[in-house]
Chains A and B, each alone.
Chain A
Amino acid sequence: MNKSFSTYETAWCPGCGNFSILKCLKTALEELGKDPHEVLIAAGIGQAAKTPQYISANTFCGLHGRSLPAASAAKIANEGLTVIVNTGDGDSYGEGGNHFIHAIRRNVNIAHFVHDNQIYGLTKGQSSPTTALGHLTNAQADGNINHPLNPVLLALAAGAGFVARSFCGDHKHLTAMMKEAISYKGYALLDIFQNCVSFNKINTFRWYRDRVYYLEDDFDPSDRTQAMIRAMEFGDRIPIGVFFREDRPDYHEMNNILAGKEPLVDQTQDPKVLQELMMELV
C-alpha cells in the first residue's frame, strides 16, 4: 500500500508559513507510518484551515470555529481514524474559543495544530485573539487594545494533558512536535508560530526566529506549575517544545460504551434491546 501523502497546489501567498507546516505535516504522518486512508484532517475556515484541501487524506472542512466538536465526534465514532485538526488562531481561539476549552475537558484522542500567526489572513489583516497590544490593523485603526490570549497558558490552566509549541521555521522541531502530539493518547494542543507575509509586518519570520529557544533538556514536562511559569515567558525570548505531558485515560477509555470495545461505527445493536426498553414502560 502506498503510504505517502500527496500534496497539491495551494492558494497561499508565496513565503507563507503554511507551506512549511504542510510539509512537516506530511513528513510527520509518513514517519509515523500512517496510511492516508485512515487519516482525517479537519479544519474550520481561514488560510490555515485550507490545509486539508492540499493533502491526500480524508478531510472535513467544516464551519468557522467548529472543527473541534466535529472532529472529536468523528473520532468518537471511529477510533480507527487518526484525527488531526489543522486550523488557525482565529478559528481555534476566537470563533471556536468555547470549543477549545471543552475539547480539552473532553480529552478525545485528537491532535490540534494551530497555525498561530497572530493575525487574520483570510479576511485580510484584522486582529486575532493572539495579536499583540497596539498592533495597528485596518480594523484596529488606533491599535489593538484587547489583551492577547496566551493559548499555551490557557490550555495548561484548562487541564490539557499535552501542550506544546513550535515554529514553522524549524522543520525538524516542528515535525518532532507533530509526531509527539499525534502519538499522544488524548487531546493534544500544538500551537505553531507562523509568519504571515501579507498582513503581519510585526511578528515576522525573523521576529519569531530571533526569539524562540528550546525548553531545556532537563525541563520536566510533568510539572504543570512549572509549565505555566514557562508559558508566561513571552517577550524577547519565547520557549518552544513540550510544556506539559501527562498520561491519563482519554475519552474512549472513560466511556462505558466505547472502552475496550470495537469502534462505535462497527458496533451492532442487539435487536432485543428495544423490546427490553419497551417492557420497562408497560
Chain B
Amino acid sequence: MFNILIGGAAGQGIDTTVSILEKAFKRSGYFVYTLRDFMSRIRGGHNFMIIRFGNDVITSHSSKLDGLIALNEETVDLHRDKLKEDGFILCDSSLKGNFDAIRIAMSEKAKDLGNPRVTGSISVGAILKIFGVNLDNIDDIMKAYIKKDYLEINQEAARFGYDSVDTKYPHTGGRFKDHMLINGNQALALGAIAAGLKFYSAYPMSPSTSIMEYLSRHGVLAGVVMEQAEDEIAAINMSIGASYAGVRAMTATSGGGFSLMVEALGLSGMTEIPVVIANVQRPGPATGLPTRTEQGDLKFAIHAAQGEFPRMVIALRNHTDAFYQTARAFHIADKYQIPVILLSDQYLGDSTSTVQMYDMSEIISRAPIVSTEEDSDYLRYRITDDGISPRRIPGKGNYFVTADSDEHDEYGSITESANVRRNMVDKRMRKLDGLIEELEEPEYIGEADCDILLVGWGSTYGPIKEAVKTLNAENENKYGALVFGDIYPLPTRLLTEKAGKVKMIINIEQNATGQLAGLIRETTGIQCSSSILKYDGRQISGEEIVDRLKNI
C-alpha cells in the first residue's frame, strides 16, 4: 500500500492533478482512497491531498508518506516530517531548499509547451511512472477534467514527466479496475437519484455545494429539477412544497444552513410532508471552519425545532452507505411522512473512495402514493392505528389535499380543541413505533468477544475499522467497535448486549463534548469509560486512534 501527498497553493490546480492521478491509479486496478484538505480561499494558502492506494481495501487516510509531491517550498516544510525513511520528494527543479528530491524541470518545460499550468500534468506523468503505471488511460481520463483546447499539451506534459523518472515501485495486482471512484457527496446525490429524486433545492454552502453542482450537471439526464434557492429557508420550504405536490424532494446544506432550516423541519413534522435533508457537517458554531470537518451537529439534528414530532437521523459512514442510506432515507420519509436528516461531513463529502458499482436491486422502489378510500371520504390527517394517514397527490382526483402548520383536525383545518390536539400529537408520535422496528443496528467490527469496545458514528467508521484491525494485531486486549449509521432513534439492542460484557467503552467522535456518549447515556443509561475527541477540523485517522488509545 502506498501513500502520497500532493501539496501547493490554492489555484495551482491540485484538485485537477489529483483527480487525474487518482483515476489513473484506480484504472490501473489499485484501490484508491483520497483525502482532500482545502483552505477556504481561491488563491494562495496551502492545500493538500493525500492519495492512498494499493491492492487491499482502504478505509482511512494515513499520514505516513511514501511520496511528497511539492508544488511549492511550503509543502516540503510542512510535510517532510511525515515521510517514511525510504520516502521520496518530487518537485520542480526551481524549488529552493537543501533536501534530497527527484527534481524535474517542470516550469521550464511548461514554459516551452506554452502554458505554465501544465506542470500538474508533468507531475502526473512522473508519479505514474514512479509507481509503474503506464500512460494507456491518461488521454481518456484527461478528457473529463481538461478543456479540449488544452488537452494536447497536457498529454504531452504527462509524457514528458513520465520520461523524466524511473520506476521505483513496480505495479502489482489490479482487481479494482471496474470499480467506481466516487466522493461522498456524489454517492449521496446518486443515492437520491436512485430513489427517484425529482426536485432538489439548496443554497450553496461548503462542504455540501458539490451535491447541487452534480445534480445540476446531470439534471436533464436524471430528470431532477435543481433550483438554487435565495436562502436555506427557501430551499427547505421549496422541497416541502414540491413534496406536498407529490415528487420526491431533498435539500442539503451544512450546519449554518441547517440552522436556518429548523423552523421548516418542524413544518415537515407538523404537516407530515416527507422531506430529506442532508447536513454535510463542518465545524461551527457560526461560520466556523468552512472547508473542514466535524461531527458537531448530532444533538442539534436530533433536537432541532420547537415542539415534538417524530424524525429520523441517519449518519453516513462511508461511500457505500452514502448511496444506500440516502435512498433508504427517501423510503422512510415517505413511509412515515416525516423529515429524515442525513448527517455527513466534509471528510466523507470531499474524500474519494473506490467502491463497487451500486446494486439497484437493493433499493426499495417507491410505493405509489395512493389511498383506497373514496374520494369524498378522504381525510388527509385521518387518525389511524399506526399513526400514518393516507397521503394523496393534489390535483389528481376529486379530493382535497390539505396542509396546515397550525394544529389541525383530520380534514386539515385549524383547530384549538384540546381533544383534537391530544389525538393529533398521539397520532404523530405513534409513527415512532413502526420506525423503531425498522432501525438498523450499528455495524460491529472486530473480535466477537472483545475487552474494549469502541463506539462511534458516521464518517469515523473507516478510521475506526482500520484502528481495530491494527489493535487486534498488536495487542493482548481484544478490541471491537460499534459504529452507528441509524442514530436517532438510537438502536440499542447490540449496544446493550456488548456493553454488559466489556471492560471498557470508549467513544470516538469528531466533536468536543462527546455527543454520542451523551445520547447513549440518555437512551440506555450506559456510561462510556473514556473518550477520544477531536475537534481541530481534521479527520482522525486509524493511526491516530491507535496512538491516542495508548494514553488511555
Contacts and interface: CB of A to CB of B under 8 A. Distances in A.
A22 interface: no
A194 to B, nearest CB: 20
A140 interface: no
Interface in B39-95: none
Interface residues of A, number: 53
Given A70-B238, A73-B241, A77-B242, A56 B394 contact: no
A99 B237 CA distance: 11
Contacts, number: 182
Given A76-B199, A257-B219, A62 B246 contact: no
Contact of A99 (B201, B234, B247): B234
A261 B445 CA distance: 49
Interface string B354-390: 0001101000000000000000000000000000000
A62 B241 CA distance: 9
Interface residues of B, number: 63
Interface in B168-227: 178-182, 186, 190, 193-194, 196, 198-199, 201, 218-225, 227
Contacts of A57: 400
A281 interface: yes
A209 B47 CA distance: 66
Given A40-B394, A60-B244, A274 B190 contact: yes
Nearest to B229: A69
Contact of B400 (A42, A59, A267, A268): A59
Contacts of A106: 227
Given A50-B414, A61-B403, 8 more contacts: A58-B394, A59-B403, A66-B233, A69-B229, A72-B241, A76-B227, A265-B245, A274-B194
Contact of B198 (A61, A80, A264): A264
A76 B403 contact: no
Give 4 closest A-B pairs by Cβ, nearest first: A70-B241, A73-B241, A77-B245, A73-B238
Contacts of B413: 53
B357 to A, nearest CB: 5
B410 interface: no
Interface in A25-80: 36-38, 40, 42, 45, 50, 53, 56-63, 66, 69-78, 80
B220 A257 contact: yes
A12 to B, nearest CB: 13
Interface string B405-418: 11000001110000
Interface in A72-119: 72-78, 80-81, 98-99, 101-102, 106
Contacts of A1: 398
B246 A78 contact: yes
Given A50-B414, A277-B190, A102 B245 contact: no
Interface in A99-153: 99, 101-102, 106
18 contacts: A58-B400, A58-B401, A61-B405, A62-B240, A62-B267, A69-B233, A74-B245, A75-B245, A76-B225, A77-B199, A81-B395, A257-B220, A264-B199, A265-B245, A265-B246, A273-B221, A278-B357, A282-B178
B38 interface: no
B487 to A, nearest CB: 27
A61 B182 contact: no
B222 A264 contact: no
A63 to B, nearest CB: 5
B180 A256 contact: no
B402 interface: yes
A265 B401 CA distance: 15
A76 B234 contact: no
Interface of B: 144, 178-182, 186, 190, 193-194, 196, 198-199, 201, 218-225, 227, 229-231, 233-235, 237-242, 244-247, 249, 263-264, 267, 271, 357-358, 360, 393-395, 397-406, 412-414
Nearest to A75: B245
A282 B393 contact: no
B403 A276 contact: no
Given A1-B398, A78-B245, A257-B224, A62 B405 contact: yes
A235 interface: no
Given A98-B230, A264-B225, A269 B190 contact: no
Contacts of A257: 219-220, 223-225
A225 interface: no
Residue among B144, B179, B198, B406 with max Cβ neighbours from chain A (10 Å): B198
A258 interface: yes
A14 interface: no
Contacts of A59: 400-404, 412
Nearest to A67: B237
Contacts of B225: 76, 255, 257-258, 264
Given A101-B230, A265-B393, A61 B414 contact: yes
B222 A273 contact: yes
A62 B179 CA distance: 45
A258 B227 CA distance: 12
Nearest to B186: A281
Contacts of A38: 395
Interface string A230-269: 0000000000000000000000000111100000110111
Nearest to A268: B223
Nearest to B179: A282
